[in-house]
Structure formats: structure tokens, C-alpha cells
Amino acid sequence: MTTSSLFDTTLVPSETGDLISLTMPDGPTRLWMPRLVVFTPAALDEAHGQKILARARDLELPIEILPANRLTGLRGADARETYRKGKTTLAVVTAPAGQFKLQPIPPSADWQFHVAEGCPGHCQYCYLAGSLSGPPVVRVFANLPAILENTARYEKPNGETSFEASCYTDPLGIEHLTCSLAQAIRYFGTRPNAHLRWVSKYDAVDGLLDLPHNNRTRCRLSVNAVPVARRFEGGVAFVARRLQAARKLALPREKNGGGYPIGLVIAPIMPIENWESHYARLLDEAARALDFPCDLTFELITHRFTPGARDVLRDWYPNTVLDLSEDGRETKRNKFGGVKYVYARSTMKTLRAFFEREIACHFPQARILYWT
Ligand code: SF4
């Protein structure tokens, strides 16, 4: 058995030598600890901001109270230093007025809202590179009660409305510092016609297990084939641990009246060498982790990138071996004319047929929500 870097997946050569499989690494869940936590004065006027301050003090994290509500001093001398400073800083701020005008987010949910922006992870394909500008600092919003209550304005008068909380952050990756996700789960537990969706590559779910979610939250874990995780993901939980987190969330508990509805988001799907074997292995491991009846969905997202995100990723990860070339890609345009590069139609067709077949075989009761 070999263990690669600290942030990496434990690898076990298979009997044939050409595959690697997931094993459960021992040891406690690893939690991100920022090197600096900064607070704006407005954030400290909020009870949620004060609680984050108390937690940061308990953890003896370096704290700075800013003189004004503007974040400054987060850039380094070059892109590398700016990245390093950003990814080790937690900024506690208040969400600006624009955050209260929600945007739709198909196909994932009706609306997106944000408890934070930025993520402590180091995934070389990170979609945030194309959606957030400036230093990659993690900003947490201290005016959380107002953010949650605002979602009620967007609930359909009749029928069910879904709200996605993970478009600009990984809320579980910072939950030990913020407790924002727990508060959101509690809030949506009181909304009979709305539900919360969140997704993570982390695994520290124990604090969420006994919350009164009332089946109004679907918790999803983002997983991938081991070689993709090993090469391109850093600072996040091992894939095997994410699958165990999904198991914990889905298992019925006495206190919350039953397990959470859960989901597996397989993203970004990449046709790497031996991709069928590696993804079949992932689904085998997932089936082993979820070997009991549960409300399970799948979301299947192939790798894609915009030219802007590619530039940022090349700045952040200059030595990446991630395939960001346009060879074998087709362009897709959004309604504003923006371009993104997706796999060629024939590749997409082959990948899709494989996943639909394998998921039906491994999880006959699960629903595939979308393929993209
Ligand atoms: S966990 Fe998600 S949001 Fe965080 S760095 Fe990785 S891809 Fe980006």
C-alpha cells in the first residue's frame, strides 16, 4: 500500500496492477484551519459574526478586526502569493444588497443563495476560478438570518421550490468555523414547500446528523474516480471518506426521524485512461457504502471550462497536467454569448451511456437528476 500526499487518496494496486481502488484511510477527519480570520465591523454587529469570532478565539486562530467594511491587503506580490494568502484566510463579512436578488441555477435547483463565497480546497479544475473574481479568500456572510429569510420571497405560491447553497462555496468545508450550514438546514426544516440542496467534497458531517431537517435538505457528496481525485484534488477529504459521509447522512437516526435524502454528484467526469474501470470501481465502492434503502439521486457533470477560468487555473496551478486544451472539445454558448469547452458529442454519448447503464445496475432505485 502506498499513501501519496497528505491531501491525497490512499492507493492500492489491484490484482491486475492497472487499477487502484478506494480504501478508508484511518485517522480523524481533517479540518481546515485558516492562518488568519478577519472580521469587518458590520460582521461583528451580527450575532452570527460574534459566534464565529468566539469559535475562532476558542481555536486560537489569528484574528484581525478591520477598521472598515472593505477587505484590503489580501493580494500578494504575485499570483502565487495571492493564491496562498487567499486560500489561508477566512473573511467574515456581511453579504451586500446584490446577494438578496437571487439567481436561478438550472439544472441543479430553482434558485441559488450564498452562505459564503470561496473554498479552502485546492482542486485544479475548480469551477470557482471562472465564477469568483479576485483573491480566492473564503468570505463567510455574517448576516445569515436575513439571507435565509430572504429565500422565502422566492418560494412558489404553489408547489415545491429548491434552493442550492453550494454554487460559490463548499459549505461543509468551513462548517466547523461557521455553523452556517446547520442553521440553513434547521431553517429549511421549517419550510413545508421549499428544500435546501448542498454539495461537498468534505466529510465532517457528524454535527449535522441529528438536526431537525424534516426531509427538507438533500445532502450531496461530490465524488470522482480515484485517479482524477489523486491528480487534481487537494485539501479535501478522501473519496472513500466522502462515501462514508454519505452513508452516515443517509442512515436513519432516532433523533431526526430518519436519514437525510442524499445524492452523489460525479464531477467532473473525465475520460482518462481506463476510465470505465475506474468509474465502475467508484460505483462499486458507492454501492458498498450505501448498502441499505435510501433516497438517493445522481448528478453527472462532465469536465468543462471557459477561457477565463482556464487562464485563472493556469495562474493558480502552473504545473497542472489537467487537460485544458481545445482538442477533442466542442464549444457551447450560454445565453449571454459566453463560450465554454465541453467534450465532443461522440465522447459525451459514450460516457453518458456508460453512466446510465452502470447506475441502473448498481442503484436500481436511484434517480439520475441530470447529465451535462
Ligand atoms: S472543493 Fe469544490 S469549490 Fe472547493 S476547491 Fe474543490 S472544486 Fe473548488
Task: Assess contact for 165 and 125: CB atoms under 8 A.
Answer: no
Per residue in 48-93, pLDDT (tens digit) is 999 999 999 999 999 999 999 999 888 999 988 999 999 999 999 9
Q: Tell me the backbone φ, ψ of residue 23, rounded to 5 degrees.
A: -130, 160
Q: What distance in Å separates the CA atoms of residue 272 and residue 278, rounded to the nearest whole number?
A: 9
Q: What are the phi and psi torsion angles at 333 (to 5°)?
A: -110, 140
Q: Cell digits for 341?
A: 469547452
Please state, in angstroms and rounded to a whole number, the distance separating the CA atoms of residues 238 and 173: 13
At CA 196, angle to CA 206 and CA 222, rounded to 5? Answer: 60
Distance from Cα 280 to the centre of ligand 1, integer Å: 23
Q: How far apart are CA 117 and CA 101, in angstroms?
A: 16
Position 256 scores a pLDDT of: 66
Pocket of ligand 1 contains residue 126 by CB under 6 Å: yes
Does pTM top 0.75 for this prediction?
A: yes
Of the listed ranges 21-30, 162-171, 185-194, 284-293, the least confidently predicted one is: 21-30
* Structural contact between residues 369 and 359, judged by C-beta atoms closer than 8 angstroms: no
pLDDT band at 5 (very low <50, low <70, confident <90, very high): very low
Q: Is the C-beta atom of 229 inside 6 A of ligand 1? A: no
Q: How far is CA 311 from CA 305, 317, 320, 330, 359, in A?
A: 10, 10, 12, 18, 35
Closest ligand 1 atom number to CA of residue 233: 6
Write down the pLDDT at residue 336.
81
Best residue for ligand 1 mutational test, from 168, 170, 223, 317 (most atoms within 8 Å of Cβ): 170
Cis before 212 (ω within 30):
no
Residue 26 has pLDDT above 70, yes or no: no
pLDDT for residue 186 is more than 80: yes
Residues comprising the chain, all counted: 372
Q: Using CA atoms, how far apart are residues 206 and 245, in angstroms rounded to an integer?
A: 8
The alpha carbon of 102 and the centre of ligand 1 are apart by a number of angstroms equal to 22
